Chain A
């Protein structure tokens, strides 16, 4: 309790200073900011006394009181940005360094002119004010947690993506949030709003990475509106520095016959928490929510997801897999909520975990809440070691035990990775996985 009070005061000064620096913004943004900060102060940072945060203690990052990065800091020179860019998005990307938009590393060349892919600051001040006013904070606002409120209070760095009716965006859009650690440890507040209008198509790659190891906080919020018959495919790759903290929320709303496919890959950060909410609001809406977390010694990764079936005939599929090594910890809490009128619901959820060490621990809790009879729902969770028969099969072909174990672990992860449509992301993940496994295998 006392820490929450203390932290308020730390962010209060920073907030006043930040709000004052954002003078050119429309008045409604200022009000949203003020409201969000008030809400944050009311909530305070969560503690392990709260059911939703029982297994994830944010006290260490609260104690750090990371100051907002955008305040009074010069743009840093970074080299090697290209190594973080997905090849397919070479000409359709926005790059942010320490929370600040970096025009020289960004490109919109491959994007059709009618598509809006704009840095949030410019969008707030410019002609897209109305889209923002209509959508920003609608999914994250009152339903959000303290970190989301803090993100809204320090809103500024991020992007607006809007695809008009019927437009198919061929090139995937990458949003790269890169931390180039400086002298101070800081917090960034990436914010993304995606509005895919009726019958449009968009592929989004959201990347969080760091050029060097450091302690810092990323507090990200992404809101996605999938219109009627639209399809949004969203890949989130969290590859933060090993000492970093990453707290994020992804909230989506899917209209009639729309599809939202989210794949999250969690590789980095000392502590990460990802809150996911997908609301299927009208008949025929569908979603896939897949994920892979790969954590090693000293890492803690928490995924909380909620998929809501509000109306009849919606489908959801969720497959989350975790690989835990060393002294690591993962939390998976997946709720599927089927409302009373949601007949013909088809929901599947699974969470499988592979423990490579006896010090690793996972708390998994898939939950189905069904208030309706006419549904097809399945869920399950497993926690286990490598399959003995599979291991023996590989050994019987002459593979050394280390190699055989690595290969099986890799295979476990591949079920998620191989579904990713973009080769560069698959390659990046393969490499990350193999590196983690100290592998001797090349692609």
Chain B
């Protein structure tokens, strides 16, 4: 589904990604871990098409197509989804309205009928159950004044509405309380199908108890320096990153 080949990227002339290689097949769950500032969010945002980052080398194929030929909104309609580490507040735009517009954009793209506000209300109520989202948050402005946890939950609600092929969840677990973490994780699991794939960016092994990854990658200084199974996450939890950093320095 996704193939990242030797990806290099800069922001303001500073090199942040320095040769990433990663292949993700449908049905898989990949976890990306790594110390602060190693480039995890940068990778996620580049996949979504954020204009601040410049790709200087390498390529990314999404379902065989060059991802960089698609504008950010086209990527989204094709099924790429990023749950932001820091979801953006959009004052004056109601959450329900925003979700409906996004949903209808996708429907149109697939050549399907758009849903009117009433029809969408039913669909939204049903999808909101996936993350047990409070109905009062639907009429409020997108993320405005939401608590940290509510914002993260709202990201997964958007995922539930848009049903992407590839979902990149950037630290969705950070800021969630213990119950919310379980609810949101179960939500993500419910949204899994053999046809889609999930990339989890996380600092904590706890999330991976709920959403069990097929592969765990460690990103350090813009490169994937180690890849393993779910036991790698346990090892990191126990030993920290020093041994990885040392190994990377030695290499």
- A interface, CB within 8 angstroms of B: 388-390, 392-401, 403-404, 407-408, 410-415, 418, 441-443
Q: CB-nearest residue of chain A relative to B52?
A: A388
Q: Shortest distance in angstroms between A400's beta carbon and chain B's nearest beta carbon?
A: 6
Please provide the chain B residues from 103 to 162 with a CB less than 8 Å away from any CB of chain A in the complex: 105-106, 109, 116-117, 141, 158, 162
List A contacts of B84 (CB < 8 A): 393, 396
Given A408-B93, A410-B93, A411-B93: A398 and B88 interface contact (C-beta under 8 Å): no
Give me 7 A-to-B residue pairs in the complex whose CB atoms sit less than 8 angstroms apart, sorted by A's number: A389-B88, A390-B90, A395-B76, A396-B72, A403-B101, A408-B90, A442-B116
List A contacts of B50 (CB < 8 A): 392
Interface of A: prevailing SS: helix
Q: Shortest distance in angstroms between A389's beta carbon and chain B's nearest beta carbon?
A: 5
List B contacts of A407 (CB < 8 A): 90, 93, 98, 101
Contact at A396–B76, with CB atoms within 8 Å?
yes
Q: Shortest distance in angstroms between B90's beta carbon and chain A's nearest beta carbon?
A: 5
Contact at A398–B109, with CB atoms within 8 Å?
yes
List A contacts of B72 (CB < 8 A): 392, 395-396
Given A390-B90, A407-B101, A413-B92: A398 and B77 interface contact (C-beta under 8 Å): yes
List B contacts of A403 (CB < 8 A): 101, 105
Q: Please, how many angstroms separate the alpha-carbon atoms of A408 and B144 in the complex?
A: 13
Answer yes or no: B102 CB below 8 A from chain A CBs.
Answer: yes
Contact at B49–A396, with CB atoms within 8 Å?
yes
Q: Please, how many angstroms separate the alpha-carbon atoms of A393 and B142 in the complex?
A: 11
Contact at B49–A395, with CB atoms within 8 Å?
yes
Q: CB-nearest residue of chain B relative to A418?
A: B92
Contact at A398–B73, with CB atoms within 8 Å?
yes
List B contacts of A393 (CB < 8 A): 84, 87-88, 90
List B contacts of A396 (CB < 8 A): 48-49, 72-73, 75-76, 81-82, 84
List A contacts of B117 (CB < 8 A): 442-443
Told that A392-B50, A398-B106, A407-B90 touch, could you supply 6 new A-B pairs with CB distance under 8 A?
Answer: A392-B72, A396-B76, A399-B73, A403-B105, A412-B91, A415-B91
Answer yes or no: B11 CB below 8 A from chain A CBs.
Answer: no
Answer yes or no: B247 CB below 8 A from chain A CBs.
Answer: no
Answer yes or no: B51 CB below 8 A from chain A CBs.
Answer: yes
Answer yes or no: B248 CB below 8 A from chain A CBs.
Answer: no
Tally of contacts, chain A with chain B, CB under 8 A: 85
Q: Please, how many angstroms separate the alpha-carbon atoms of A200 and B101 in the complex?
A: 44
Given A390-B88, A411-B141, A413-B92: A401 and B73 interface contact (C-beta under 8 Å): yes
List B contacts of A395 (CB < 8 A): 49, 71-73, 76
List A contacts of B49 (CB < 8 A): 392, 395-396
Contact at A398–B102, with CB atoms within 8 Å?
yes
List A contacts of B90 (CB < 8 A): 390, 393-394, 407-408, 411
Q: Please, how many angstroms separate the alpha-carbon atoms of A347 and B56 in the complex?
A: 51
Q: Shortest distance in angstroms between B144's beta carbon and chain A's nearest beta carbon?
A: 9
Q: Please, how many angstroms separate the alpha-carbon atoms of A243 and B74 in the complex?
A: 41
Contact at B102–A397, with CB atoms within 8 Å?
yes
List A contacts of B101 (CB < 8 A): 399, 403, 407, 441
Q: Shortest distance in angstroms between A380's beta carbon and chain B's nearest beta carbon?
A: 16
Please provide the chain B residues from 164 to 204 with a CB less than 8 Å away from any CB of chain A in the complex: none
List B contacts of A441 (CB < 8 A): 97, 101
Q: CB-nearest residue of chain B relative to A397?
A: B102
Q: Shortest distance in angstroms between A443's beta carbon and chain B's nearest beta carbon?
A: 8
Contact at A397–B91, with CB atoms within 8 Å?
no
Selected contact of B92 from candidates A394, A397, A412, A442, CB within 8 Å: A412
Q: Please, how many angstroms separate the alpha-carbon atoms of A404 and B93 in the complex?
A: 11
Q: Please, how many angstroms separate the alpha-carbon atoms of A388 and B162 in the complex?
A: 22
List B contacts of A398 (CB < 8 A): 73, 76-77, 102, 105-106, 109, 162
List B contacts of A408 (CB < 8 A): 90, 93
Q: Please, how many angstroms separate the alpha-carbon atoms of A412 and B81 in the complex?
A: 26
Q: Please, how many angstroms separate the alpha-carbon atoms of A400 and B104 in the complex?
A: 11
Q: Please, how many angstroms separate the alpha-carbon atoms of A394 and B84 in the complex?
A: 12
Q: Shortest distance in angstroms between A334's beta carbon and chain B's nearest beta carbon?
A: 21
Q: CB-nearest residue of chain A relative to B164?
A: A398
Given A396-B76, A404-B73: A414 and B91 interface contact (C-beta under 8 Å): yes
Interface residues as binary, B37-58 with A (CB distance below 8 Å gives 1, 0 otherwise): 0000000000011110000000
Given A393-B84, A441-B101, A442-B117: A400 and B93 interface contact (C-beta under 8 Å): no
Q: Shortest distance in angstroms between A19's beta carbon and chain B's nearest beta carbon?
A: 49
List B contacts of A410 (CB < 8 A): 92-93
Q: Please, how many angstroms separate the alpha-carbon atoms of A408 and B105 in the complex?
A: 16
Considering residues A400, A414, A415, A443, which has the most beta carbons from chain B within 10 angstroms of its beta carbon? A400
List B contacts of A399 (CB < 8 A): 73, 101-102, 105
Nearest first, the 9 A-B pairs at minimum CB distance are: A414-B92, A411-B92, A398-B76, A393-B88, A411-B93, A397-B102, A395-B72, A395-B73, A398-B105
Q: Shortest distance in angstroms between A174's beta carbon and chain B's nearest beta carbon?
A: 26
Considering residues A389, A398, A400, which has the most beta carbons from chain B within 10 angstroms of its beta carbon? A398
Considering residues B48, B51, B84, B93, which has the most beta carbons from chain A within 10 angstroms of its beta carbon? B93
Q: Please, how many angstroms separate the alpha-carbon atoms of A196 and B48 in the complex?
A: 57
Q: CB-nearest residue of chain A relative to B88?
A: A393
Q: Please, how many angstroms separate the alpha-carbon atoms of A398 and B103 in the complex?
A: 8
Considering residues A394, A403, A410, A412, which has the most beta carbons from chain B within 10 angstroms of its beta carbon? A394
Contact at A392–B141, with CB atoms within 8 Å?
no
Contact at B51–A388, with CB atoms within 8 Å?
yes
Given A396-B48, A398-B105, A441-B101: A411 and B73 interface contact (C-beta under 8 Å): no
